[in-house]
Structure 1
Amino acid sequence: MDKNKDILLINDLPGVGKVALSAMMPIVSSMGFRVHNLPTAIVSNTLDYGLFEILDMSEYMKKTIGIWDELGFKFDAICTGFINSDEQVGLIEKIISDNKENDPLVMVDPIMGDDGNLYLGLSKNVVKNMREMCALADIVTPNFTEASFILYDEMKKDELDSHEIKEYIDEFRKLGSKSVVITSVKNKESGNYSIEGYSYSEDEYFSVPYDYINVRFPGTGDVFSGVMVGKVLEGKTLKEACKIASDFVRKAMEKDEKIVVDKRKGMNIEDNLQFLK
């Protein structure tokens, strides 16, 4: 198995809280890959606190990409999360284009909302940006709220039947996403929760059921995406990678639910790396 890969994570960097880059970097690096980062924003703390400061990093990104061009840095996988401006979409497109010779795996996690709403402080302009990002994705990983806003600008439904699930997935494929992973889907027919997806390389639709845990930790999507992309790079099928990532999130949540007092800070990522062994 070739771990000699350079992985670029493009996401926000929180000062307090294990979300975004703070959550993904220890996960992907613990799997043996060389991990690099490009922050889209510096955030004082997780948005769950209701009070926060966000510093846009577009100018830094632009200058950094220019320096990386001069130095000849290349990446084997490019994983994107929170996008803070229209300009950043173009900057990420440039990074992907600059690395075309490496044919990098591009994973887009369109971070912008959950539980039927956009995150606090985000405008609907972020929906347009994420829609553009989906066209760049080898794998797109929205939760159900994000999928609904990207496709329909609103939460049209709280749950889906089997036909509607396939419809949602196919709409992402029409946007340009090759493989699709929609997390946190509630099935109208069974009442159960599942991860619903389509794998481009296997040309198959798949479903990964999971047990719903009624506790909120910010950053669970980042954790899921970090594990999933690492396992795909290790050679697992997308369905296998989703199952491993889902199991990791469940074990971490079950453990941390009992011991983390302030859940707004996210899960204890480093302590939970034991579940990747």
Structure 2
Amino acid sequence: MPKRVLLITDMAGQTKVAMTAMIPILSHMGYSLFNLPTALVSNNFAYGDYALLDTTEYMRKSISVWQKLDFRFDAVGTGIVISHEQLEIVNEYCKFLKTKGITIFSDPVMADNGELYNGISESIVSYMRELIGVADYIVPNYTEACFLAGIPYQSGSVSSDEMRKLIDSLRKYTSGTIVVTSAFVDNKKQVCCYDPKSDEYFNLPYDEIPVSFSGTGDIFCSVFMGHILKGEPVKQSIEIAMTAVGKMVDRFKTKEDKLEGLPVESCLDLL
């Protein structure tokens, strides 16, 4: 039987981000996908205008029903949450699932380029720290890592020592594997990691393609999750995810509307 993966994040109607990017990838990789949307959103927040349906009560009722029916999952991936109440619901559910031996992945989606996303308040950061404390793997970008660690964001390059201090600050909140994406370290774009199983720190540099698509973090996280759940090592799983994102971006780098995200279904051959 294929492993069962539950995604807890928002569902966009028009843009290939969050669930609409993750479900095709993980399904293609052979997993059975389930979802618990934190919000139904008309389109990417980055467009400036959007419609949003808060699904907090639906989430609460769904989890209650699932527990009564004893539904089982092998892994859970969490993404964007839109309120403190939702974070408490997701945090408690993940704690419950963790007692069942289920692997928890957390992408603490809340910020980029030194700023919190539109509609995300700074008070959510403390709740997100609780959620990453439950996770076996966390995959923040550099900005999110700074918010979670309580360390000032730097717009330029940081040193390897500074990145290690950032990761060590995150280790105060989680015992899981830490994967920091979109980091600019020693004047090179890198993915920076701490693997607690091997007690190893490592940085993996990559050549950045000078375009910016929405949803690439969701794609990276999906591919990374998929390979970890296949039992592959952390470093190898990161390298495969980096390569996949790079190939997808390169294929569609001339696409006009980059806020719409990558046409994921047209990229599955690259996985």
Is it true that 1:44 corresponds to 2:39 in the alignment? Answer: no
> Equivalent residue of 2:249, what SS?
helix
| Counterpart code for 2:180 | I
Tell me the distance in 2 between the aligned counterparts of 1:161 and 1:217.
Answer: 26
CA distance in 2, matches of 1:139, 1:158: 27
Deviation at 1:206, TM superposition (A): 1.5
Unaligned segments of structure 2, at least 5 residues: none
Does residue 221 of structure 1 match 2:217? yes
- TM value normalised by structure 1: 0.93
Matches within 5 A, 1:1-277: 4-152=2-150, 154-156=152-154, 158-188=156-186, 191-258=187-254, 260-276=255-271
- 2:95–2:134 CA contact under 8 A, matched in 1: no
Hey, what's the Cα distance between the residues in 2 that align with 1:113 and 1:99?
27
- RMSD between superposed Cα atoms in Å: 1.5
CA offsets per residue over residues 209-255 of structure 1, 9 Å max, x none?
11112211111100000000000001111111111001000000011
Q: What is the CA–CA distance in structure 2 between the aligned matches of 1:89 and 1:112, rounded to whole Å?
A: 12
Larger displacement relative to structure 2 (123-132 or 260-269): 123-132
2:76–2:102 contact (8 Å) kept in structure 1: yes
Q: 1:135 Cα shift?
A: 1.0
Alpha-carbon distance in structure 2 between the residues aligned to 1:154 and 1:164: 11
Amino acid at match of 2:262: M
Cα shift at 1:157: 5.4
Find the aligned partners of 1:130 and 1:94 in 2 and give their Cα distance: 12
Following the alignment from structure 1 to structure 2, what is the Cα–Cα distance between the partners of residues 158 and 76? 39
Q: Do the aligned residues in 2 keep the contact of 1:134 with 1:172 (CA within 8 Å)?
A: no
- CA deviations over 1:110-151 (Å, ceiling 9, x no partner): 101111111123221232222221111111111011111111
What is the CA-CA distance between 1:94 and the residue it aligns to? 2.8
SS in structure 2 at match of 1:36: strand
Q: CA deviation at 1:154?
A: 4.4
Q: Which amino acid aligns with 1:238?
A: V
| Separation (CA, whole Å) in 2 of partners of 1:158 and 1:92 | 34
The DSSP-based 3-state class of the residue aligned with 1:193 is strand
Which letter does structure 2 place at the counterpart of 1:271?
A: S
Counterpart amino acid of residue 33 in structure 1? Y
**1:108 to partner: Cα distance:** 0.6
Give the Cα separation in 2 of the matches to 1:214 and 1:109: 24
**CA offset at residue 261 of structure 1?**
2.1
- For the residue of structure 1 that corresponds to 2:210, the secondary structure is coil
More divergent stretch after superposition (87-96 vs 203-212): 87-96
- In the alignment, the residues of structure 2 paired with residue 177 and residue 134 of structure 1 have an alpha-carbon distance, to the nearest angstrom, of 9
